[in-house]
Amino acid sequence: MTTLIKGGTVVSSTGSSPADVLVEGERIAAVLAPGSAVGASISADDVIDATGKYVIPGGVDGHTHMEMPFGGTFASDTFETGTRAAAWGGTTTIVDFVVQTRGQRVQDQVARWHDKAAGNCAIDYAFHQIIGEVNDESLKAMDELIGEGITSFKLFMAYPGVFLSSDGQILRAMQTAAANGGLIMMHAENGSAIDVLVQQALHRGETTPYHHGTTRPWQTEQEATHRAVMLADLTGAPLYVVHVSAKQALARIAEARDAGQNVFGETCPQYLYLSLEEQLGAPGFEGAKWVCSTPLRARAEGHQDELWRYLRTGDVTTVSTDHCPFCMKDQKELGIDDFSRIPNGIGSVEHRLDLLYQGVVDGRISLEKWVDVCCTAPARMFGLDGRKGAIAAGADADIVIYDPHGHTSIGLGKTHHMNLDYSAWEGYEIDGHVDVVMSRGTVIKDDTGYIGAKGHGRFVKRNLSQNLI
């Protein structure tokens, strides 16, 4: 199958220019000057007219949790429903997290996640590994997983008794990653301090979702981020801090980067747009829709504007979703009388490209930065470059045709295909539209809607990230 995409503007992380894109089979064969003799001589099986539209790489969401066990329930999106929703929104690769907790063998959990995903995904997928119990066996497994294409390892400074690792355990895992070339990902919140604040709030009768945010103050995020940065500096391990929401934590990351340290920050759409006052502070139990960790921050403190600024300066390396959806009924409602029992997570995998494109329209980031943080940088960070995240000859033909003159209304019954009974983005209007989505040369979404297939997506082994700072 040969496809020629004509008339569009190809956008990369470094620039934009009119170009035609030739796809042969599953890969991009060439990027051609518009109207070139080569393009004119091609007899393609299919021609897609992209006149007036952007041609960008398929989105790479480096942080998702399909079917994740949490708080006595499971994330409501399966690999089938979640990757289908991702395809609707222009994401063509996800990197999901294999979960290991105390008493579990890492290798057994990897096999379970392969069983969950294989034959079910609409788009390509890869895995990170959560190390929930750092011991001799799991450290040895970290070395083994590098050869299996799982090259990043997530640790937690939060959730005592479930995921939290001590500083000594984190040190050992970082030493292992420094030796084997892996990337350490960190959930940076001071979980022990948060637990005390939570119990004190509940004792005072402060049980509503709003207090999920007030008991995880920015100081607990900044302190943990600083500790992670210093342990990474001590060991020489590269560090990727996930879902950063506090401007003070990002300032610490920026400081480390300015000093030449291999430290990277990720944020998510919810921290760029949503707030403690407006969402978590919604009347009654409504705020449960937006309970996630790290929490939404107070708009009055200026976190959102600062995160956009750090995006522009490059100190935020990627924007992922931390997609971990839970329905209100029977899931979020587990914490109706106690905010600490509300499953933590927001569903956004379908809307990331659109939400960040609105930042382009609003003048917050450039067109090229949009492509970089949503596509190119996550591919580079997670050892997928050369295959994902770029419109270039030899790369997988993961391509999105985006119409800047289109419009997208987000909400239930509109653009919402995640397995959720509400939308965290209800009422958001986007001045742009995902028109066509191609995964490895196959069109899986067009103007008629989703036309992909369960099982099209493949597991992608990742390389070690060679081009960090």
Do 306 and 164 fall into the same domain? Answer: yes
Q: Which residue bears the tokens 């490209």?
A: 353
pTM above 0.95, yes or no: yes
Do 202 and 266 fall into the same domain? Answer: yes
**Amino acid 35: pLDDT:** 80
Mean of the pLDDT values across residues 38-56?
89
pLDDT band, residue 39 (cuts 50/70/90): low
Residue 36 has pLDDT above 60, yes or no: yes
**Amino acid 466: pLDDT:** 61
Pairing of strands 263-267, 239-241: parallel
Mean of the per-residue pLDDT values of the chain: 96
Residue 58 has pLDDT above 60, yes or no: yes
Count of beta carbons in the 10 Å neighbourhood of residue 330: 11
pLDDT tens column, 249-268: 999 999 999 999 999 999 99
Residue 342 lies in a domain: yes
Residue 143 lies in a domain: yes
Domain containing 333 equals 59-381
Mean of the pLDDT values across residues 283-310?
98
3-state SS record for the chain: CEEEEECCEEECCCCEEECEEEEECCEEEEEECCCCHHHHHCCCCEEEECCCCEEEECEEEEEECCCCEECCEECCCCHHHHHHHHHHCCEEEEEEEEEECCCCCHHHHHHHHHHHHCCCCCCEEEEEEEECCCCHHHHHHHHHHHCCCCCEEEEECCCCCCCECCHHHHHHHHHHHHHHCCEEEEECCCHHHHHHHHHHHHHCCCCCCHHHHHCCCHHHHHHHHHHHHHHHHHHCCCEEECCCCCHHHHHHHHHHHHCCCCEEEEECHHHHHCCHHHHHCCCCCHHHHHCCCCCCCCHHHCHHHHHHHHHHHCCEEEECCCECCCCCCCCHHHHCCCHHHCCCCECCCCCHHHHHHHHHHCCCCCHHHHHHHHHHHHHHHCCCCCCCCCCCCCCECCEEEEECCCCEEECCCCECCCCCCCCCCCCCEECCEEEEEEECCEEEEECCEECCCCCCCCECCCCCCCCCC
Residue that terminates a domain, selected from 381, 397, 415: 381
Do 177 and 35 fall into the same domain? Answer: no
Residue 415, sorted as left (phi over 0), alpha (psi -120 to 50) or beta, turns out to be beta
**Amino acid 467: pLDDT:** 53
Pairing of strands 2-6, 20-24: antiparallel
Residue 466 lies in a domain: no
**Amino acid 42: pLDDT:** 79
Do 268 and 150 fall into the same domain? Answer: yes
Residue 422 lies in a domain: no
Residue 117 has pLDDT above 50, yes or no: yes
198 or 466, which is more confident?
198
Residue that terminates a domain, selected from 347, 365, 381: 381
pLDDT tens column, 134-169: 999 999 999 999 999 999 999 999 999 899 999 999
Mean of the pLDDT values across residues 372-388?
97
Residue 319 lies in a domain: yes
Do 151 and 276 fall into the same domain? Answer: yes
pLDDT band, residue 72 (cuts 50/70/90): confident
70-79, 314-323, 460-469: which is most confident: 314-323
Q: Minimal CA–CA distance to 438: which of 79, 62, 25? A: 25
pLDDT tens column, 414-430: 999 999 999 999 999 99
pLDDT band, residue 469 (cuts 50/70/90): very low
Residue 290 has pLDDT above 60, yes or no: yes
Do 329 and 440 fall into the same domain? Answer: no
Do 95 and 8 fall into the same domain? Answer: no
CATH number (domain holding residue 153): 3.20.20.140
Q: Minimal CA–CA distance to 23: which of 47, 54, 56? A: 47
Do 156 and 283 fall into the same domain? Answer: yes
Do 115 and 173 fall into the same domain? Answer: yes
Do 210 and 169 fall into the same domain? Answer: yes
**Amino acid 412: pLDDT:** 92
Residue 37 has pLDDT above 90, yes or no: no
Do 104 and 161 fall into the same domain? Answer: yes
Residue 459 lies in a domain: no
Residue 16 has pLDDT above 70, yes or no: yes
- Provide the percentage of residues in the chain whose pLDDT is more than 90: 96
Residue 359 lies in a domain: yes
Residue 417 lies in a domain: no
Burial class (CB in 10 A: 0-12, 13-18, 19+), 446: middle
CATH number (domain holding residue 49): 2.30.40.10
Provide the number of structural domains found in the chain: 2
Mean of the pLDDT values across residues 171-176?
98
Do 14 and 97 fall into the same domain? Answer: no
